[in-house]
A and B are shown apart, each in its own frame.
Chain A
């Protein structure tokens, strides 16, 4: 088998010269070089959708910022990972996520292990300043092991992607569109009645918030093994 020669590209992130393989994204190269860019919908091992807009970066010559998880690197590009404009945008987007649904950390089972929470600590967001929408959704606790609480969901779609791409069951998809979009099983049936779900629990592992969680474990004991999927994909020899 003849292996295609992988080309490398040199470019700058925040003034620092970095090198990456030609098919890598800005985010991958940044992380490989210890440059942190906040993310939420990204999980190494799953496909990238660029939907949370947290990882936006500015590129010299482009008027508007673009997500670094989907942008492929180009020779000589100059990337800025943070600026007052980007910081303000990230704060507002996080604020929107909190005000979109019903997030109360003090009574949430993943309090302390939540990526939405840790993102706001990272960005020093003290409170949500966008108008609260006060939506309330029904919780699905039918499954014997897991709970689906749409009130904590930020629609990152990691659960849908892991079920489709890694487990291969595609038990989850989205219902509706716009603000009322929900993650559903099969034809919006109770989780326990799903004929596609294999109960592998990967969706629960990758969920960044308390939208999907394991039953009968207290707040102190919950540990979301999000990296387990990244490990799995790496050990299989992909990505």
Chain B
């Protein structure tokens, strides 16, 4: 099945020609979850996995398919830190700021990275190369301080040179 996203918002009952494969993938995921209203969080995770972020069009699509009010879906999407409503960069760094990492100087690491790229935590560089985030604890406290670069955990990060070994990959 394929979707013309414009038609979806005009009439609920008719789904016609394909223009975006990602919406078919999302439809499949929603179908697998049985179109249950309760599965909203799982659906949003799937949508974010497919699209990279939760844009307004995607959220409205989800609301229509699950027959939920727009404001409810938006309320859930904005409550949880993991859901991104803006596109992320090609690479991302998550600086863990949990207690153990904090004691070991994670604030200094964050400052250094913010200075180097000119963005604050939660932002993406203008060339979309890098998104910088913080997390409250990634659960690897014994190798603190920790940063996560593109899903890989970097242990015992140097406070002086936190980007050692990864700076060259950020482009």
Bound together: yes
Q: Which residues of B contact A174 (CB under 8 A)?
A: 75, 79
Residues of A within 8 A of B60 (CB): 187
Of A170, A176, A195, the residue contacting B78 (CB under 8 A) is A176
The closest CB in chain A to the CB of B56 belongs to: A187
By a CB distance below 8 angstroms, the chain A residues around B71 are: 170-173, 184-187, 196
Q: Which of B56, B59, B69, B74 contacts A175 (CB 8 A)?
A: B74
Complex interface: chain B residues within 8 A of A176 (CB): 78-79
Which secondary structure dominates where chain B touches chain A? helix
Q: Does B72 contact A (CB under 8 A)?
A: yes
| B117: interface (CB < 8 Å) | no
Q: Mark A176-193, 1 if CB is under 8 A from B, else 0.
A: 110000001111100000
**Are A175 and B78 within 8 A (Cβ)?**
yes
A151 and B75 CA atoms in complex are apart in Å by 19
In this complex, how many residues of chain B approach chain A with their Cβ under 8 Å: the count is 12
Taken together as a complex, chains A and B put the C-alpha atoms of A177 and B83 apart, in Å, by: 13
**Which of B70, B72, B75 is within 8 Å of A195, CB to CB?**
B70
CB-CB contacts below 8 Å: B55-80 with A: 56, 59-60, 69-75, 78-79
A186 CB contacts on chain B under 8 angstroms: 70-71, 74
Which partner residue on chain A sits nearest B75 by CB separation?
A173
Are B75 and A196 closer than 8 Å at their CB atoms? no
Contact partners of B69 in chain A: CB under 8 A = 169-171, 173, 196
The main secondary structure of chain A at its interface with chain B is loop
Kindly state the separation between the CA atoms of A76 and B116 in the bound complex, as whole angstroms: 66
Chain B's nearest CB lies how many Å from the CB of A236?
22
Name which residue of chain A comes closest to B74, CB basis. A187
Which of chain B's residues has its CB closest to A186's CB? B70
Q: How far is the CB of A170 from chain B (nearest CB, A)?
A: 4
Question: Closest chain A residue to B71 by CB distance?
Answer: A173
The CA-CA distance from A130 to B72 in the complex, in Å, is 33
CA distance A188 to B72 in the complex (A): 11
Interchain CA distance A196-B75 in the complex, whole Å: 15
Q: Which positions 152-168 of chain B face chain A at CB distance < 8 Å?
A: none
**Closest CB in chain A relative to B79 CB, distance in Å:** 5
A70 to chain B, nearest CB (A): 22
CB-defined contacts of A187 to chain B, threshold 8 Å: 56, 59-60, 70-71, 73-74
Q: Find out whether the CB atom of A196 lies under 8 angstroms from the CB atom of B74.
A: no
Q: How far is the CA of A66 from the CA of B131 in the complex (A)?
A: 44
Q: Which A residues are in CB contact (< 8 Å) with B56? A: 187
Could you list which residues of chain A lie within 8 angstroms of chain B, going by C-beta atoms?
169-177, 184-188, 195-196
Given contacts A173-B69, A175-B75, A187-B59, 19 further A-B contacts (CB under 8 A): A169-B69, A170-B71, A170-B72, A171-B71, A173-B74, A173-B75, A174-B79, A176-B79, A177-B79, A184-B74, A184-B75, A186-B70, A186-B71, A186-B74, A187-B56, A187-B70, A187-B71, A187-B74, A188-B78
**B interface residue numbers (CB < 8 A to A):** 56, 59-60, 69-75, 78-79
Q: Could you list some 24 contacts between A and B, CB below 8 A?
A: A170-B69, A171-B69, A171-B71, A173-B74, A173-B75, A174-B75, A174-B79, A175-B75, A176-B78, A177-B79, A184-B74, A184-B75, A185-B71, A186-B71, A186-B74, A187-B56, A187-B73, A187-B74, A188-B74, A188-B78, A195-B70, A196-B69, A196-B70, A196-B71
